[in-house]
Every structure is written in structure tokens, then in C-alpha cells.
Structure 1
Amino acid sequence: MKLLLKISLFLLTWFNLSATTAFSKVALPNYAVSYPKTENNKLESELKICLDNFARSGVLENSFSQKYVLWESSVLENRAREENIKVVQGAGSLVSKLDNLGLTALKAEVNLLDDVAKAKFLDEFAGASDDALRAMNGNTSLVNYWKANGNFIKNKTYPNVGHKVWDDTKNAIITKADPTETKILNAIENALPPSNNQVAVAGAYSPELGGNVVLKYNDKNFNVNLLEPELKQHLDYLTMIKNDFDKGGSLYQKLYSNVPLEKIQNAGLAGTHAEVLATNEVIKQLKQAGKFNSIQDLNKVHVLVKGRPTFGNMCRCPHCFQIIDGVKMIGNQ
């Protein structure tokens, strides 16, 4: 009955609007019916089904179809307006924040963006901390970096897996009997275990080089400027996301994909983890041998990571995932 009433009200209104002179003496009432948003969405769906069936019946088909198209367009426009209201509100807040913080250089750089890019920036950076915005004000090239590479970073979906039991990974490598993986496993098993401060040890190796496996431990004091260009091309941007979170911001939610709170909380300084440092050394060796010519050659590097006993075969943090994406990770992602 409720559905029939809604349809009747709609049809009464429609007939009143489309009545010909033959019905000019008949006064049909107009009704203004308002429903909550959830009810309105349900009504739209129900009406659309009924209207489709009604239009197919051939009754006043041409006139009805025209009004149906107008009605459907109005619905879509209203929905788009509802979806955009949050973006507009967030944009206004960010613009005000730039003014209040006196970040004139950043504001000027944002104003140079085209309308589409500007709206996207104001949306994605609405949750930025004051510190992150100040950092961008001092290094406005980050805006252009975001414009050129933001989607590239965001479109690489973080696997969001947990650590694996070390013995499970070890046994899988032994069973597989791949020479490269076995060589790296043996090197790690014979290395000193990571201390509490070191957290993890990584072994990196390229079968195109031969020789020894490179072993590196986490080093939060490592100078990331010493990384090879291929590994630090995104570093300033990733560091901005890391520092923003540490200062209470939420850029990671917009600029990364599939990164939960726990993962960003436990992520260290971008570029200082064992797997990055070990990969960096192998890249140097490959370059010396004339076998590393572009970022695509990262697939020549194989890496295995072992953490403290409670961590086992560790997964990469969100930052390391971006830095060495393309490396052949063993056991875990």
C-alpha cells in the first residue's frame, strides 16, 4: 500500500503537469512530499522500476519518456550535489588553514593548478597536519610531485599482510630448492640475529652477479640521501606522509591505498629499513657490472627479511613497499 500511495502521488502530479485542454476543467491537487535520504533513495529505486514498466506499456509513451528523462537527470544532479558537499566543505577548511598559517608560497602554488587538480588537492590534503603544510610551504615542489605522481603512488595498493612464522617460510624455501632463495636463506641463518634496536635483517642478492649475499639491518640513523636515485625518487613525498601522521595528520588515508592505522603506526622512517638498504647495495653492484639501467631492473634483485623471533618473516611497511616495489620478495610481501 505504501508503494502504491507513492506511485499514485507521483502520477497525479505528472498528469496535472501534462494535462491537455480536454482536462482543463479538472483541478488535480499538487502534493509536495518529503522523505528522509534513505527513504528517498528507496523511493527512487521503486519509482524507476515502475516507471520503466509504465513507459513500456505505450501509454503516452513519448511525452512520458521525455518527463522521465528530465526526472532522472534531476535525481542524478541532486545526488552529485550531495556527494560534492563534503569536498567543498573540506576545501574551504584547507583554504582557511593556509591563510591562518600564513602559507603564502603553498597557496600560490595551489592556485597555479587547473580547476580539476586544485579541487582534488584541496580534497586529498584536507586532513593534513599543520606541520605537513608548513613543510610543503617550504618545499612547494611537493605540489608538482603530487600532481605528476600522486595517482601513481595511490594506485599501488598496499598488500596489508601480516608477518609470517619464520620456520614456515624457511621450510617452504627448502622444499622449493630454488638456488637463489636457498643461498639467501643460508646467509641469513648464519648471520647475527637482529638486536631489539635493529628489529630485522635482510639478505639481498642478484643471480646475475653471483658472489655473496648482501646483509643489512634496520638503521634509523642511515642517511637516506645516500640511497641510489631509483630508490629515493619518491622519498620526499613518502617522508611527508610519514611525518604528517606523526604530527596527527591523516594524509596516508588519501595518498596511500589499503593502509590501515596499525601499519602506518608501526612504519619507521622511510628508506631506513633493512630490505631497502640491502637492495641499495645490490643496485650499486649491478650498476658497476653494467646490468642496472632503469627502475625496471629492480626485478633482478631478490630479498628475504627476517625479524626478531616474535616477528618472523616480516612484511614490508607501507613506505618500503613504495620504495622497492618491483623487487622479488621471498616468502612475504
Structure 2
Amino acid sequence: MRILGQGYYIPERIVMSEEVDFLAGVKKGTVLKKTGIRKRHYADFRDKETTSKMGKYAAENAIKNAGINKEDIDLIIGANATKEILLPCSASLIQKQLGLENNKTACFDVGSSCLSFFTALEVADMYLKAGKYKNILIVSSEIASIGINYEHIESAGLFGDGAAAFIIGNGGNSPVSKFQTFSEGFYYTSIPGGGTRYLVKDYNENNKSDYLFHMEGSKAFKLIKQKIDDFFYEFLEENDINMTEIDRVVAHQASMTGLKLIGKQLNIADEKMINIIAEYGNMIAASIPFTFAYGVENGLIKREDKILIAGTSAGISIGMMVLEY
């Protein structure tokens, strides 16, 4: 597997933490103090910046950076938690946005919330090994702002919107990875409504919180803290990886607390960790690929660098991967 090119897109609207304070009806400075996030971007999702349009913009940048024609893409993987519509898959909307509807490109989605891009990389690597596809487009495009519960101050200031895309092809080394889910924390981060348990047609003003993001942050953090140390060190030992070999760490920008936990557990020097959450917030599945693409664009990641990707997601899942850029 080799990363041929990458790109990202950020919505035009900038939302400072003071605006989130106002939307949440709390004292000025509360959100910044609780989250450490100064600003984030919200999409104009009703027209200009839909999930698929943002994904298209990111994909076009990735295609350009990869130096290929869009017609060379033979598989599109949608890797996002939020969906523009429930059916069909997000990848098919990206195909249509790119004008590839008659290109016989295969399309499907993978969904592991914040680790969806991570999972898509694993799937892409397996397909490339099998010789099934040659140029795979992975797109993570998220409009997290639509599901924010402003009555829940713990999570209201965490999220931002954005999209990132990667072109994956042959010519490199397969990554090593580890992924585990601890479903005892299933309800700690969730959106209960919208599926077959709480139907969309039953939505009303009295139960609207069931259709917004729900987080029990302290419980989620406690569970992750219990599991993450053994998980990380098992991964390093199983794959004979020395952290001194790692050039950069691309972690899911979940929260300031989460980034500090990953840094502490892995004893990562601050200069190796790409930390941009204060300026962009948590972009769910777009967080990891956006941070990666941002690192490349800003000279933090160079060719042949060894990159460690790490993160957690709803479920609760933990994922870790080492690859060569």
C-alpha cells in the first residue's frame, strides 16, 4: 500500500468558542475553558457544503496531488459517521459528484465512527494485496455540527466540520495495525435515534435529545484509560516497533484530554504529535485524515516518514497503525 495523494476541505464559516457559548446559553469563556478549543468550522450544509460536496472538493485535491486522472479510480470507500442521506452509501454520492457515475467504479462505505478512515485503510490494503483494485479513493466527510446538543455543554464545543480524501495505490509497504472494540462502553458515545429503535417518524420536540449526539465523557475516558495502555504496548511488542523509529504521530483529534492521554501512554514527545484540535475541533472520522493531510501540506510529514496513527471511537473502539508515507 502506498499513499499516492491526499487533500482536504474546510467549510468557510468559522465558529469561535464565544459563539458556542451563546448557542449553549452559558457564560462567555465556558466552552474554551472546558475544551481548550478556540475555533472550529461549520458547514453550510443545506446547499454549498453538503457532505458529498465537501467530500468532492477534498477528493479533487487528493486526485491532483496523486497525479492521476479521476477515471483511474476503480474503488471509492466512504469512511464517515455522518451521512447526507441514509441510503444509498456515501461513496456513491461522491462518485456522482465527481462525474464518475458511468465509470464502473465500485462504491461502498465502512463505518466505525471516528475510526472509519482507519478501517478504510485496512480494507484498502487488503484489496490491493489481493490485486482486486489499483487506485482506491477514501473519503471522510463529516458535518458534525448538525448533531450537536447545545444543552450538553460537555460535548457542544468539541465538534467541527470538514472533509479529507486519500488516493491509495500499490508501491509501498503494508501497514501494521491493531483494532479492538470494548462494547461495555457502547452507550457512552452514541446517537440513539434515527435507526430502527427510535424511528425518524417518531421525532418530536419532547424526545429530540434522542436524535442528537450523547456522550458520557467521564465514563468513556475511564474505560479508554483502563484499556489503552495494554492495547498500545501489545501492538508495539507484537510488531517489534520502537517508538524512536516513529517520525510523526497522527492521532484522532477527539479532545485535548484524549490527545494528552495518548501522548502520556506512549511517552510521545510533543514535537512528534500533530495537535491541531484547538483550531479545528473534533471532525469525527475526518479528523485523522485531515490531520494527516494538514501535516503533509505544512511540511510536518515527508515522504518515507514512519507515521503512527492512533485513535478511539464510539463502540468503544481503539485503533493503532504504523505506515510509511
TM-score category, normalised to shorter length:
under 0.3
Superposition TM-score, scaled by structure 1 size: 0.21
Which has the larger Rg? 1
Question: Normalised by the size of structure 2, how large is the TM-score?
Answer: 0.22
Q: Which is richer in strand?
A: 2
More helix by share: 1
